[in-house]
């Protein structure tokens, strides 16, 4: 089998704090004299029995990790490490997602918090050799008016290249709030040329997805896997050209599906969906980008289908058309290389 680390691809679903290496988290905590929960440092994290999984376990772990990110240096290190890790796994384009509100108290406000990340994204792109764009994400656990503030800030830094805001998202527990209340923020971002990339269709099913599609008008859905439960809805999403950011390991660790074999990747692909595989939060799920392609392989995708997934990730990215053409050619070259028995774990 061909080496999946050598496969050119784009990484479109990666959260800022959740992108951290365990070793980085431990170092930062030690520097500040902070004690971390054992499940964040013992390499088991959220790997628990199916009946013990769930959102609140995840959120507690994420909040504990986020508490160590208290400086500009820490924020820059996270961006740089994420770029380096993605580069090693063949990623040509990383679109990392952040809610700057969470880090604002330590760096002087939401504006410097975002500008630190954007600046380091540009520097890491230059130094590491991977394009790093930034998605600004509002949170469902905060007031929708705060999302409008974030959207206005994002609009000031809009673009498609490294170090620019390329997308506007909505994350956190999708069971919170009324989706339509965030439509004004997405309209602000959209008028600035920023793509809508909200979460939806993970913890809640088709009815919730209909609301997300109707009110937020996404070009990509963070997760969206629950569309597989409604063939008519799935067909409408596919026909609208909305891409899915599918994170198989995350779906299992959060208890959306009990086992890897239940992740409806095949259903989405058979429906003609554009699917970009993502790692979501490697710190907590202990599963990085290449691991998601390994899961696709274990779910029955051959190397041609694996290459098509990589093509989809590039097409669904918010990179320039020139960059996309170059990376598509690189994927074709990967597929044209001889098959071997050795492949990345």
Separation of alpha carbons 145 and 85, rounded Å: 35
Helix/strand/coil percent split, the chain, to 5 = 55, 15, 30
Nearby residues of 242 by Cβ (< 8 Å), 6 or more positions away? 213, 218, 219, 220, 221, 224, 274
Distances (CA, A) of 132 to 94, 298, 316, 325: 5, 29, 15, 17
DSSP sequence for 256-307:
SSSSGGGSTHHHHHHTT--EEE--B-HHHH---HHHHHHHHHHTT--HHHHH
Identify whether the C-beta of residue 267 lies closer than 8 Å to the C-beta of residue 230.
Answer: no
Identify whether the C-beta of residue 186 lies closer than 8 Å to the C-beta of residue 168.
Answer: yes
Active site residue 211: no
- Coil, strand, or helix at residue 111? helix
Structure tokens belonging to residue 241: 């050209």
- Taking phi over 0 as left and psi of -120 to 50 as alpha, with beta for the rest, 201 belongs to left
H/E element holding 212? Answer: helix 206-216
Structure tokens belonging to residue 201: 């269709």
Nearby residues of 225 by Cβ (< 8 Å), 6 or more positions away? 201, 202, 244, 246, 251, 256, 263, 264, 268
Q: Which of 202, 211, 305, 321 is catalytic?
A: 202
Which residues carry out catalysis? Answer: 202
């Amino acid at each position: 089998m061909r080496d999946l680390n050598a496969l050119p691809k784009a990484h479109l679903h990666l959260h800022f704090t959740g992108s951290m290496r365990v070793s980085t988290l431990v170092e930062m905590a030690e520097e500040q004299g902070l004690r971390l929960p054992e499940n964040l440092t013992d390499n088991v994290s959220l790997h628990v029995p199916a009946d013990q999984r769930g959102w609140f376990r995840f959120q507690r772990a994420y909040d504990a990790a986020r508490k160590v990110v208290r400086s500009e240096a820490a924020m820059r290190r996270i961006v740089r490490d994420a770029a380096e890790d993605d580069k090693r796994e063949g990623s040509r384009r990383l679109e990392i997602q952040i809610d700057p509100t969470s880090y604002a108290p330590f760096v002087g406000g939401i504006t410097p918090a975002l500008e630190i990340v954007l600046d380091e994204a540009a520097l890491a792109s230059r130094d590491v050799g991977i394009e790093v764009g930034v998605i600004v994400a509002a949170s469902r656990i905060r007031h929708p008016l705060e999302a409008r503030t974030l959207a206005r800030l994002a609009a000031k830094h809009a673009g498609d290249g490294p170090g620019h805001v390329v997308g506007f998202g909505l994350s956190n527990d999708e069971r919170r709030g009324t989706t339509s209340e965030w439509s004004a923020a997405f309209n602000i971002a959209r008028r600035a040329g920023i793509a809508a990339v909200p979460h939806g269709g993970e913890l809640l099913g088709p009815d919730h997805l209909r609301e997300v599609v109707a009110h937020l008008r996404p070009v990509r859905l963070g997760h969206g896997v629950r569309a597989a439960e409604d063939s008519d809805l799935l067909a409408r999403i596919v026909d609208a050209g909305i891409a899915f950011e599918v994170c198989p390991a995350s779906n299992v660790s959060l208890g959306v599906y009990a086992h890897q074999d239940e992740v409806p990747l095949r259903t989405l692909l058979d429906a003609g969906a554009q699917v970009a595989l993502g790692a979501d939060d490697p710190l907590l799920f202990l599963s990085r980008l290449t691991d998601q392609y390994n899961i696709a392989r274990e779910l029955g995708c051959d190397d041609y289908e694996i290459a098509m997934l990589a093509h989809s990730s590039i097409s669904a990215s918010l990179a320039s058309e020139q960059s996309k053409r170059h990376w598509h050619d690189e994927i074709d070259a990967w597929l044209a290389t001889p098959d071997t028995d050795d492949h990345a774990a």
